[in-house]
Structure 1
Amino acid sequence: MEKYIDLIQNSYYGYWRYLKYELISINHWDNYFYGLIAISLVVWGLEIAFPWRKNQSAFRKDFWLDTFYMFFNFFLLNLIILIALSNTAAEVFNDILAVVGLSLDNLQLFNVNKLPKVVGLFIFFIVSDFVQWNTHRLLHRFPLLWDFHKVHHSIKEMGFAGHLRYHWMEPVIYKSLLYIPIAIIGGFDVQDVVLVHFFAIAIGHINHANLGWNYGPFKYILNNPKMHIWHHAKELPPNSIYGSNYGITLSLWDYIFKTDYIPHNGRDIELGFEGDEEFPTHFVEQTFYPLTKKKDNK
């Protein structure tokens, strides 16, 4: 037990030092804090210059709430719980494996360090995006998970910052389901993975932005605003009570597994979910909603 307590303490201290370093250091290209700001400003600028819904304000409904969510979920949440939880869960998992005489090294299928860097990054990207696509489907399928995911679907006007409006339990679920597949592959260089993360952030911002893009023939590979808006549609597809278009970065999985749905131009469709008029509108209330809700509105 003492080992885990020390691990939790070291996780807090380590991430706090990292966060301070990110805030004061702007001379390294893989700075997540200023990278997020740069990507956000670029996509927001595109929204303002090329708005799909021309009557939507640049400071749309819940703009500041979503901006708070963006920085809270991307940085403060790690400080409060995620890093310590992730490190502790990983250590517990390793200890359980050790009981039966195994380790993550025994479970690794291959090490990407032995492959060309581009190939390794591609494998990381494909595996992580596919696992996240499946996790996203689970968030819609199971009532308890859906209660957490409602925070994200309470968006009523799409904008770039809505990408990171989500309940703090979501990354716990995503990271838990992603841990083993990535550990089995192993050997990823942290700085290289930053490239994949920045790409995913940019695509996620664009998907939620007030932009009418679909990338032409590449729409069957990359998720895009004209596709993703239907994922946020209040009216569900006639063939699925759980929604559609679960793609995170890639739309490919939806087309392969027949969960795609783009019946027409969705520029002006109503967003949200059934019963969202009763959903809390403030951060604290949304955080505790799964514990305080009176009934499932789905």
Structure 2
Amino acid sequence: MLAYLYPISLAAVSALVMALEHFFPWRKGQKQLRPRLGSDFLHLVFNAHFLGVLLAGLADRFLLPHVDGLLASQGWTDAVYRNAAADWPIWLQIVVALVVLDFVQWCVHNLLHRVPFLWEFHKAHHSIVDGEMDWIVSFRFSWLEVMVYKAILYLPMVFFGFAWEALMFHAIFGTLIGHLNHANLDWGYGPWRYVLNSPKMHIWHHDYDGDEKTTVNFGIIFSMWDWIFRTAKMPADPPKRLGFEGVEEFPPNFFAQEIWPLQRLIPPLKAH
């Protein structure tokens, strides 16, 4: 049953947010059945389940034995695999996991915009254009971007040794907030906007006229990091246009989007 908990939760969260969009749309003329919806569904299925299973299996088989061997040879095993939270009550593990892992994700998101080759990984997500900002695009990501996040998040997860319940809560709650952030909903959360990310805030992260290297609103679950570090922007109205300069040349379908970073970074592939 545990293996099905996240897929079941994903389906429930997706159905909920899709219904909210249907009954309370912010942009009245935006259609729920739109072009590229099938491609985004493939991103949802692949990135939400199959990619994670694949990466975990490959890391466990080929990478982690070498990492663990290196740590042991340097005497760092106990420092890295500290399991600092192992004896904490589960509610405290959930709170700390939400805050710590979200801050790490906020930092990674910054890097995806500021480091040129990482920006190539992240472009797939910013290929969202007018008429496409809805719940399902929250999973429009390149597999290389997912690898970056998972590799960096591994360290705090093993340092704290969070229980599976805490990690599962983080995954499900993060999925809910991610769906809502991209949803066609006129929600800003009032005074809670200084704590939680929202549709009215996150849409400005996708502003076409923004600077891709110094953009705003990097928050995933929490907006507080952006308010603390002065990267927050939340006007009352949505931006005039979504995307980035050159988005018209970005491939429109799942398979082409997945190989895009490799084509940009490996010269022989650019011709194909």
Normalising to structure 1: TM-score of the pair? Answer: 0.83
Contact 2:93 2:166 in 1 (8 A): no
Alignment deviations for residues 95-116 of structure 1 (CA, whole Å, 9 cap, x no partner) = 101112331x334566223222
Q: Where does residue 26 of structure 1 map in the other structure? A: none
**Aligned equivalent of 2:98, options 101, 105, 125:** 125
**Aligned equivalent of 1:152, options 125, 139, 143:** 125
2: CA distance, partners of 1:52 / 1:138: 31
Contact 2:86 2:160 in 1 (8 A): no
Alignment deviations for residues 200-232 of structure 1 (CA, whole Å, 9 cap, x no partner) = 100000000000101110000000000000001
**Aligned equivalent of 1:283, options 250, 254, 264:** 254
Change (3 A) 1:35 1:110: closer
2: CA distance, partners of 1:78 / 1:221: 28
Contact 1:245 1:259 in 2 (8 A): yes
* Partner SS for 2:142: coil
2: CA distance, partners of 1:258 / 1:215: 19
* Partner SS for 2:226: helix
1:183-194 equivalent positions in 2, closer than 5 A = 183-186=158-161, 188-194=162-168
Letter in 2 for 1:281: P
1:41-190 equivalent positions in 2, closer than 5 A = 41-79=15-53, 81-87=54-60, 88-103=62-77, 105-107=78-80, 111-156=84-129, 157-186=132-161, 188-190=162-164
1:168-247 equivalent positions in 2, closer than 5 A = 168-186=143-161, 188-236=162-210, 241-247=213-219
Letter in 2 for 1:97: L
Q: Which structure has the larger Rg?
A: 1
The aligned length equals: 264
Change (3 A) 1:113 1:291: closer
CA offset at residue 85 of structure 1?
3.0
**Aligned equivalent of 1:259, options 220, 225, 231:** 231
Contact 2:106 2:218 in 1 (8 A): yes
Alignment deviations for residues 129-159 of structure 1 (CA, whole Å, 9 cap, x no partner) = 0000000010011111111100000011201
Q: Percent identity?
A: 40
- Please list every run of 5 or more consecutive structure 2 residues that lacks an aligned counterpart in the other structure: 268-272
* Partner SS for 2:245: coil
Contact 2:14 2:135 in 1 (8 A): yes
Change (3 A) 1:61 1:221: farther
RMSD: 2.2
**Aligned equivalent of 2:241, options 242, 264, 270:** 270
Contact 2:90 2:165 in 1 (8 A): no
Letter in 2 for 1:253: W
2: CA distance, partners of 1:151 / 1:269: 20
Change (3 A) 1:241 1:108: closer
Letter in 2 for 1:40: S
Letter in 2 for 1:184: F
- Please list every run of 5 or more consecutive structure 1 residues that lacks an aligned counterpart in the other structure: 1-17, 23-30
* Partner SS for 1:46: helix
CA offset at residue 67 of structure 1?
1.4
Normalising to structure 2: TM-score of the pair? Answer: 0.90
Contact 1:60 1:159 in 2 (8 A): no
1: CA distance, partners of 2:193 / 2:237: 14
Change (3 A) 1:114 1:293: closer
Letter in 2 for 1:181: P
CA offset at residue 270 of structure 1?
0.8
